[in-house]
Structure 1
C-alpha cells in the first residue's frame, strides 16, 4: 500500500485565497478585453499577468508539497497526484467549451458555422487530453492550441513545468536552481522588452513565436517559485491576505505605459512585475498568518473555486465577446451582463467543484493512490 500521508500536508491558506482573487481578475480582464480596440486601450490592462502569478504559486506550492518527500515518493506517484489534481477540470473545461461552441457570434468567429459536429467533438476529445493542436486544426480562427477552451494553453505549460521538476529540477541544489532562475529571468526580460506588441501576452498557439513566449512565461515564474520555497522566511505581515490582495489587484489593473511609441516600456513593466513584484507577493502571502475565522473562510472558498473558475470561464467569454463585437456595444451598455457573466462563471465553477471535481478526485485517489 502506498503512503497516503503525502496528501495530509497543510495548505498556505492566504496563497489559496490569492489564487482566487487572481482568477476573478482574469474574468474581469477578459470582459474588458471584449471592448478594447487594442492592448493600448485595454482596461484592467495587465490582467494577463495573473497566469504568471499562477506559475509562481505553482512552483512554490509544488516545492513545499514534494521537495522533502522524494525518499518515499516515486516519479510515477508524483505524476498520478498531479493528474488527479489537474486533469478532471481540464476535461470539464473542454466539455463546457464544446457545449457552448455554436452559441458564439459568427461575426467575431466566422469559422464556427462551417465546423461540422464531428470535427468539434474530435477537438473536444483532444482537449480532454490537453494535447495541443496545430494551427491547421483550428476551428475558431484564433489559432489557439485548445480552440474550445483557450486557457488550456497555460495548463499545458503547467504540465511541462511539473515534468521538468519531477525529472530534473528537483535534483538541483540551491546554487544551481539560482543560476537557472537568473538565466530564465534574462530570457523573460529579453522576450518582454523586444516584443513587437510591447507586452508578454501569448503562449496559446502551437507556433515557434508563441511557444517562445509560453516558455519565457513558464520558466522564470515556476523556477523562482521553487527557489522561493527553499529560501523563504516569515515576514510576520499583519492582515496579509488583505494587503497581498490589494497588491495583486494593483499589479494586474495597472494602466498600460509607454503608449504605441515606447512599447518596450510596457514590456519592462511586465518583466519587472513577473521577476520582482509577483514573487514578493507570494513571499508575503506565504509568510503571513490569517486573522479571523471569516478571512479564513473567504480564503478557503476562493482557493477552492480558483482553478475551476480559471479553466471553465472562457467559453462564457467567447459568447460575450462575440455578442459585443457583433453589436458594437460599449461597457456602459453591457455592464449588467458583464456582472452576470462573473456570477455565472463563479456559479459554474462552484457547481463543478462540488458535483464533479471533488467526487472525481476522491474516486481517483482511492483507485490510484491507496490500492
Structure 2
C-alpha cells in the first residue's frame, strides 16, 4: 500500500520546479497502476506481476516533499513565517483532500455492502465512527470494531492515508526541530537515518521481504513507516540546502523512464544472509531517488506543451493518490467475487478503473480542492504569511 503523498506549497515569491511537479505526477500514475495489479495478487494469493516495486513511490514522494518544504520555508522562519502560520498552511494544503478521501472511502464501503474481506457484516454506526476518525486523522487500532475492513489498516476507509499520517509527523518535526538544525547537523541526522533505514530494509526487520511497511499500527510497521518518511524527508531538505543546478537535457523524460524501470524490477528472492530485495530498495531510496530529484530540479520545460504536461501531472498527483484507493477496494471485491485473477481476463475493467481515477482526481481538484483551499487561505492565513 502506498503518500503516500502530497507536495509542499511553494512560497509565492519563488519559482516552481516544474519538472518535480511532473515527476510527482508520474509517480502517482505508476502507484495507481501498481495498486491495480496488487488487486490481482490479493484476489489470487499470488505475487504482484507488474510495477512490482510501485510502493517505492511513497519514498519518492517523501524526498520530493522534503526538498520543496526546505526550499519553500527554510529562509522564511523568523521573517514572514511563524509556527502557527506554517501549520495552517500545511493543513490547508493537505487536509481538505484527506477529508474527501475519507468520505469516498465510506461511500464505497457502503456500496460494497459494509462487509470485511472475510464476509463479516459491519454496522453502519462503526462505518461512521471510522469516517469520523479518518477525517480527524486518528489511526485505527488493529482489531478494533471501527477497523472496518479487518486487515489492520491505519485508515481502513482509505488505506494510503497512512503515508499522510507520517507526512504530518514529518511536518511537525520540521517546524519544531529540523528547520533549526545547521546544515552540518542536518547532514549527520540524515546519515544516521539512512543507516537505520538500510538496517531495517537489508535485514528484513519487518519479515515482509520488502520495505512496504507503515500501513498498520503495529510496532514494526510504525518503526518502518517512520524510517521510510524520516530519511527521504530529511534527505530532501539537505538537497534543497546544497542544490546547484546542472546542465541536463530531457531531464523529465530521463527521470520518468528511470522511475518506470525501478518500479518494474521484479521482486528479488533471497533473505540470507541479507534481504537482496531490501538491499535493492535501500539503494533506490538512498542513492537513486536523491539523484533523480537533483536532475529533475535542474531541468527546465522548454516549450508550452511540456510545461502544461508537468503542471497537469503535478496538479492531479495528490488528488489522484488520495482518492483512488476507495475505488480499488471495489475493484478488489469484484475480482474476488468473480474469481478473476489476471489482467488478461479483466483488462477492460482495469483500464476503466485506472482512467476513472485520473478523471475523478481532476474533477475533485477543480470542483472541491482548489476552491476550498482558496477559501481557507483567504479566511485563515494572514497577508504576511501568504
Greater per-residue helix proportion: 1
**Deviation at residue 103 of structure 1 after TM alignment:** 3.1
Q: TM-score if structure 2 supplies the norm length?
A: 0.91
Q: Indicate which of 227, 235, 238 corresponds to 2:238.
A: 227
Q: What is residue 84 of structure 1 aligned with on the other side?
A: 92
Partner-residue secondary structure (3-state), 1:100: helix
Q: What is residue 344 of structure 2 aligned with on the other side?
A: 332
Q: Indicate which of 367, 375, 378 corresponds to 1:366.
A: 378
Superposition map of 1:96-107 within 5 A: 96-104=104-112
Spell out, residue by residue over 1:251-272, the C-alpha distance to the aligned partner (whole angstroms, 9 max, x if none).
1121111257787000100111
Partner-residue secondary structure (3-state), 1:114: coil
Q: Indicate which of 43, 65, 69 corresponds to 2:76.
A: 69
Q: What is residue 214 of structure 2 aligned with on the other side?
A: 203
* Contiguous gaps of at least 5 residues in structure 2: 1-9
Bigger Cα displacement from structure 2, 253-262 vs 335-344:
253-262
Partner-residue secondary structure (3-state), 1:133: coil
Provide the C-alpha distance between the structure 2 equivalents of 1:145 and 1:92, rounded to a whole number of angstroms: 17
* CA RMSD in angstroms, aligned pairs only: 1.8
Residues 153, 203 of structure 1: 8 Å contact kept:
yes
Provide the C-alpha distance between the structure 2 equivalents of 1:261 and 1:104, rounded to a whole number of angstroms: 42
Spell out, residue by residue over 1:56-84, the C-alpha distance to the aligned partner (whole angstroms, 9 max, x if none).
00000000000111122100000000001
**Deviation at residue 6 of structure 1 after TM alignment:** 4.4
Q: What is residue 109 of structure 1 aligned with on the other side?
A: 117
Bigger Cα displacement from structure 2, 149-158 vs 41-50:
41-50
Provide the C-alpha distance between the structure 1 equivalents of 2:17 and 2:114, rounded to a whole number of angstroms: 44
Q: Indicate which of 1, 10, 13 corresponds to 2:15.
A: 10
Q: TM-score if structure 1 supplies the norm length?
A: 0.95
Provide the C-alpha distance between the structure 2 equivalents of 1:34 and 1:41, rounded to a whole number of angstroms: 8
Q: What is residue 347 of structure 1 aligned with on the other side?
A: 359
Establish whether residue 155 from structure 1 lines up as the match of residue 164 from structure 2.
yes
Provide the C-alpha distance between the structure 1 equivalents of 2:246 and 2:13, rounded to a whole number of angstroms: 25
Partner-residue secondary structure (3-state), 1:42: coil
* Contiguous gaps of at least 5 residues in structure 1: none
Establish whether residue 178 from structure 1 lines up as the match of residue 187 from structure 2.
yes
Provide the C-alpha distance between the structure 2 equivalents of 1:365 and 1:85, rounded to a whole number of angstroms: 9
Bigger Cα displacement from structure 2, 198-207 vs 55-64:
198-207
Aligned residues: 366
Provide the C-alpha distance between the structure 1 equivalents of 2:261 and 2:231, rounded to a whole number of angstroms: 21
